[in-house]
Structure 1
Amino acid sequence: MTLLPFSCLKTALTTRVKTSASPLRHAVAFLGSVALVGGSLAAEAAPAHAQSSDVIGSFADVTPASAVDLGEAPHPLPGYGGTPVDSGLVVGTPPAETGKAMNEVSLDPSVGLSSAAVQRRFSYSTVNQHGEVAASTASLFLPKGPAPKGGWPVLAWAHGTVGLGDQCTPSMNPQGERDHKYLNHWLEEGYAIVATDYVGLGSPGMHSYLNGKVNAANVVDSVIASRELKEGQELSKKWAVIGQSQGGGSALHVALSATKRSVDAGLDYRGAVATGAPAYIEEIVLAAGPTFPPVPLLSGLSVYSLYILAAFQEAHPEVDLNSALTDEGRQMIAAAKKSCNDQTAAVVKGVNVARAFRKPLRDVPGLATALRDFMSTPTSGYDKPVFLGHGLTDIDVPSPIGVVLNSDMWLHQFIGDAKKRNLRVDVHWYPTDHSGTVLASMKDSTPFLHEIFTQKPPTSSISGSSVV
């Protein structure tokens, strides 16, 4: 366990702000610092959850409209710069049961991994944000060489933010340099990889961005379904989940339900690695309104905000989000629903997302409760080991958020309801940013995964959990 000294955090934040006097940097530091305060309030007790967004909202309430820098008007949505490759897969119609393989094809090498001996793309049944059985797609990668006795241990890869449009689907596009290195590393370590695209990316429906429960179900079902593939006999029953950013959050949600679902499926879930995991973001989103944020944010943060609003609106039509939106807000959300990261970033470059709102989001009846249920990340109830990695200079999921989440999860090994205490939480900090944490963490996550796969898992005290 590597706890972050407060002096290190203070130095990181101060350095980050001093490197640039721009309003963007100050805004990020402000959001992160308020998230630290708000997240701490939320960590104290469940009723304090409401207070955390109110902390930020109170700033917005006293900010005059004349003091808000609205930046530029939203820009037109550009075309997609890539060429998706579907490998000839026909997704098909899902059966009534989840976790079932549907169709499979060889994955086109142009969108594969160089260290894989076998690469397949397949469709499978899972659940969507409306509680319906739905189709999703995924990739399976096997290491080179003969499978060990008992089969290749499996890592389920939960990918980070790519966008909401079908053209963004990970199994239809080349891996970025970072993810290519990261996933090849695990193949070279002797792990098979099952990589879901999540429902709505390359499959019917809309991707439910940062919907932790649904994204987690998509991950678990991909692992279960992969055993029905032609190469499924080469897979071990033992598996763990790894994820970055959005995928880090998905990995944590996987970890809350994976033990029981694995036992039911005859599998052996071992633990989770989550880097750059988001948390308490819903409290910042709830503070949004005509005067918050007060200045344009870095485009990445604006992109994430639009994806959240777009996915939430689709999942909860009973909540009147439109009543809080301006025409520009509806325009930006409509663009986000059909675009990838670079496209959405071009739309909001220099734009303050406050332009999207005609009234504070927290004033929309039912929105706060529904949004928290949609995307909040629990900090207790983890019955298998969890590895948490975060960057000191992360501004995508600002490092103060990592401080609160990581500390809260670590403390819940020892405090709170004994039946919900976390079994084991390893916290690691890295002197790098959001993306850099992925590769920087490998020196610690590699022995962590080796240990949890090779040792007999300890018994958990969490009510209802089972250990294989």
Structure 2
Amino acid sequence: MKRVLVLLAACSILLTGCLWDAERRVDEDEADQITDASFYDVPASEAAGKPGEVVKSEPILSAPFGSSAWRIIYRTTDLAGSTVLASAVVAVPDAPAPAGGRAVISWGHPTTGAARSCAPSLLFDPFLMMTGLHEFLAAGYAMVATDYPGMAVEGDSSYLVGVTEGNAMLDAVIAAQQLADGLSDRVLLWGHSQGGQAALFAAQQAASGYAPSLDVLGVAVAAPAADLTELMDDDIKSMPGVTISAYAFPSYSAAYSNRYSSDEIDAVLTADGKAALDKLTSLCLLTQGDELHSIAKPLIGNFVSSNPSETEPWKTMLEENSAGASTLGVPVFVAQGLADDTVDPSATEDYVKHLCDTGEHVEFRTFDGITHLLAAEVSMPHLLPWFKGVLAGKPQTTTC
């Protein structure tokens, strides 16, 4: 009986502590929101400088209990090789760093939109989209989550522009090292959906010599937008196909302006698609989903006049922003829900086969009944020991 009372008392203390921390974070989120808008207003001239340099930072008062966190604006590099600004959230455990420093997990978030206002760091809870944050902090990792260029900070959208997104994930780690003591050069990449594409490109960029100060040891992705050609084929006559392709129009028009005119890129649109494009691209998937879907639904089957994956210049742009053109050379973890109707499981299976055929070391996990939204979350029990093994240099199991 005494033991039961002790356990009940402990649970009561734990619950009280959790409720107190939740109340604290809500109060401090409200305080953070007061300064959010002005924080992100940075002159475009600030982009001049070295990739990875911090331009601006501020503490986030609502950091998870036992951690410190910051919003940052930093420099990175786009597809054309120009230095641009991006924003990110950094979270680091308060406990002393282990010998050799903390490994850093760089997170690539799934699609939230393409407009500046759709950035995850602008959400009331800026940690909401950082899948695994609490588990990673408890395990001693630091975590950094880029918004990608063109979100939060004014600039051209980088939606599904693989090189730009990947560079932003790497440079965010270099920026985080300037804020928090004890962060090592050891990096693990982790991304979901659009963020899976970003993480894979970050690994490719690192392997080709970008951000040489970092030691990228492994990359993990859930339901990744790996092969954009196959993704477009699968989704073009569905709701995800309309929204995904709509978001890509402004980003590809900006990224490829030196090769293709806006008229060439927009030529694939129907008259109805062209009329709705500006409204679609201004809406955020998380906070304006109902309005977005009300516009996109009537356009299913009538947004584009031909399949972009078979029509130039889209055919070339989709191919160039599909992962797999160069080797990674580090262990790869891939997770896929088998009830996913956004990234078809067969597309991920095809990408895993490509990785195996090119000699990569892959662990592939599939989950029955799991939709696109949950693919990253259900991966966590498998991903934590996988990351631990990668850091320890232990041989990993392989699907290949």
Q: Which amino acid aligns with 1:272?
A: V
Contact 1:122 1:139 in 2 (8 A): yes
Percent identity of equivalent pairs: 24
Matched, 1:141 2:91: yes
Partner residue in 1 for 2:362: 425
What letter is aligned with 1:446? Answer: L
Matched, 1:285 2:223: no
Question: Letter of the aligned partner of 1:254 in structure 2?
Answer: A
State the alpha-carbon separation in 2 of the partners of residues 347 and 129 from structure 1: 33
Shift of 1:154: 0.6
Other-structure match for 1:234: 182
Q: Say whether residues 1:453 and 2:391 are aligned partners.
A: yes
For the residue of structure 1 that corresponds to 2:391, the secondary structure is: helix
1:89 CA displacement: 2.4
- For the residue of structure 1 that corresponds to 2:346, the secondary structure is helix
Q: CA deviation at 1:108?
A: 4.5
Moved more, 244-253 or 358-367: 358-367
Equivalent residue, structure 1, for 2:354: 408
Distance 1:404 1:159 in 2: 22
Query: What code does the residue aligned with 1:204 have?
Result: E
| Shift in Å, 1:435 | 2.0
Give the aligned partner of residue 108 of structure 2.
158
| 1:24-57 Cα shifts (integer Å, max 9, x gaps) | xxxxxxxxxxxxxxxxxxxxxxxxxxxxxxxxxx
The one-letter code matched in structure 1 to 2:206 is A
Q: Distance in 1 between matches of 2:128 and 2:356?
A: 28
Conserved 8 A contact 1:388-1:428: yes
CA distance in 2, matches of 1:193, 1:361: 36
Q: Structure 1's 314 and 184: CA in aligned 2 closer, same or farther, altered over 3 A?
A: same
The answer to whether residue 57 in structure 2 is matched with residue 104 in structure 1 is: yes
SS at match of 2:196: helix
Distance 1:272 1:244, change over 3 A: same
Aligned with residue 275 of structure 1, among 198, 222, 230: 222
Q: Which residue of 2 aligns with 1:391?
A: 337
The question of whether the paired residues in 2 share the 8 Å contact of 1:397 and 1:434 is answered with yes
Aligned partners of 2:120 and 2:126 also within 8 Å: no
Equivalence map 1:18-417=2 (5 Å): 86=36, 89-90=39-40, 91-92=42-43, 93-109=46-62, 112=63, 114-115=64-65, 117-175=67-125, 179=129, 182-229=132-179, 231=180, 233-259=181-207, 261=209, 264-265=212-213, 267-283=214-230, 285=232, 293=237, 297=238, 299-317=239-257, 318-319=260-261, 320-342=264-286, 343=288, 345-358=292-305, 361=308, 365-373=312-320, 375-378=321-324, 381-413=327-359
TM-score normalized by the length of structure 1: 0.69
Is the 8 Å Cα contact of residues 310 and 333 (structure 1) preserved in structure 2? Answer: no
State the 1:328 CA deviation: 1.9
With over 3 angstroms needed to count, the CA separation of the structure-2 counterparts of 1:85 and 1:449, relative to structure 1, is farther
Cα distance, 1:275 vs. partner? Answer: 0.8
The letter for the 2-side match of 1:103 is K
Which residue of the partner structure matches residue 381 of structure 2? 443
* Cα distance, 1:360–1:261 mapped onto 2, change above 3 Å: closer
Distance 1:253 1:115, change over 3 A: farther
Distance 2:211 2:158 in 1: 27
Distance 1:219 1:448 in 2: 20
Q: Secondary structure at the match of 1:406?
A: helix
| Structure 2: 5+ residue stretches without partners | 1-32
CA distance in 2, matches of 1:84, 1:437: 34
Secondary structure at the aligned position of 1:171 is classed as helix
**What is the total number of aligned residue pairs between the two structures?**
353
Query: Residue 351 of structure 1 aligns to a residue in which SS?
Result: helix
Distance in 1 between the 2:279 and 2:70 partners?
32
Shift of the 178–218 alpha-carbon distance from structure 1 to 2, 3 Å rule, reads closer
Relative to structure 1, the CA distance from residue 282 to residue 441 in structure 2 (aligned partners, 3 Å threshold; closer, same or farther) is same
User: CA, structure 1 residues 234+135, in 2 after alignment: closer, same or farther (shift >3 Å)?
Assistant: same
Mark the runs of 5 or more structure 1 residues left unpaired by the alignment.
1-82, 414-421, 459-468
RMSD of Structure 2 on Structure 1 (CA):
2.8
SS at match of 1:187: helix
Deviation at 1:370, TM superposition (A): 3.0
8 Å CA contact retained: 2:107, 2:189: yes
Q: CA separation of 1:261/1:99 partners in 2, compared to 1, >3 Å: closer, same or farther?
A: farther
Kept after mapping to 1: 8 A contact 2:226/2:323: yes
CA 260–355 in structure 1, closer or farther in 2 if over 3 Å, else same = closer
Corresponding residue for residue 54 of structure 1: none
Q: Give TM-score scaled by structure 2 length.
A: 0.80
Alpha-carbon distance, 1:392 to partner: 1.1
What one-letter code is carried by the residue in structure 1 that aligns with 2:356? W
